[in-house]
Chains A and B, each alone.
Chain A
Amino acid sequence: DTGVSQNPRHKITKRGQNVTFRCDPISEHNRLYWYRQTLGQGPEFLTYFQNEAQLEKSRLLSDRFSAERPKGSFSTLEIQRTEQGDSAMYLCASSFHYEQYFGPGTRLTVT
């Protein structure tokens, strides 16, 4: 069990560019979650999948954000036309029962 992995760990991009993050969950976990964490705050829910189905999206997930989980395995989170307000830590978690296990996160800096 290698845990939840996320790539890249850090991303610096210029405003207006598109970025994509990847999350590889723990292999037998059927649920996968994305959260965003800004400095001094707790993580905020963005979206989650059960297998390949996206079951809930937060109002925080504007139309510039899209997430996929093809074949119910890894997931990608894409942000189009990045804005400085998108700078944050993006966390991925997976679960099979009650507990969500978190990856190390991808820190996005938009300049």
Chain B
Amino acid sequence: AQSVTQLGSHVSVSEGALVLLRCNYSSSVPPYLFWYVQYPNQGLQLLLKYTTGATLVKGINGFEAEFKKSETSFHLTKPSAHMSDAAEYFCAVSEEYGNKLVFGAGTILRVKS
């Protein structure tokens, strides 16, 4: 069965510092991987996705993530945090095209001024 583990339910960084949010997954087949962001009282917004091809994927708002098969990881990074990045971030995996997503428990990112 698929599962997703997000290390750290809360991450705090200073404005301008590197953001690193960790995601590890388990899957019996090559996965499709996603990062979503959720602002308070809003739905989930897709940040980026990995399906096939290049393992370093770029998304919106300066975020990127690298698929590392050997480590079963898909960590999310951003070189320089902005106050507007404060939100909850979810990593998700799907084993089939168009199939359900399995989400991690989420990481709340706090950005300090």
Within 8 A of B (CB), among A39-55: 40-45, 48, 50
Within 8 A of B (CB), among A73-111: 91, 93, 95, 97-105
How many of chain A's residues have a CB under 8 angstroms from any CB in B? 26
Which of B36, B42, B101 is the most central at the interface, judged by chain A CB atoms within 10 Å of its CB? B101
Distance A54 CA – B40 CA, assembled complex (angstroms): 31
Distance A9 CA – B100 CA, assembled complex (angstroms): 23
Contact B104 A42, beta carbon cutoff 8 Å: yes
A: residues with CB less than 8 A from B are 4, 31, 33, 35, 40-45, 48, 50, 56, 58, 91, 93, 95, 97-105
B: residues with CB less than 8 A from A are 4, 9, 32, 34, 36, 41-46, 49, 51, 90, 92, 94, 97-106
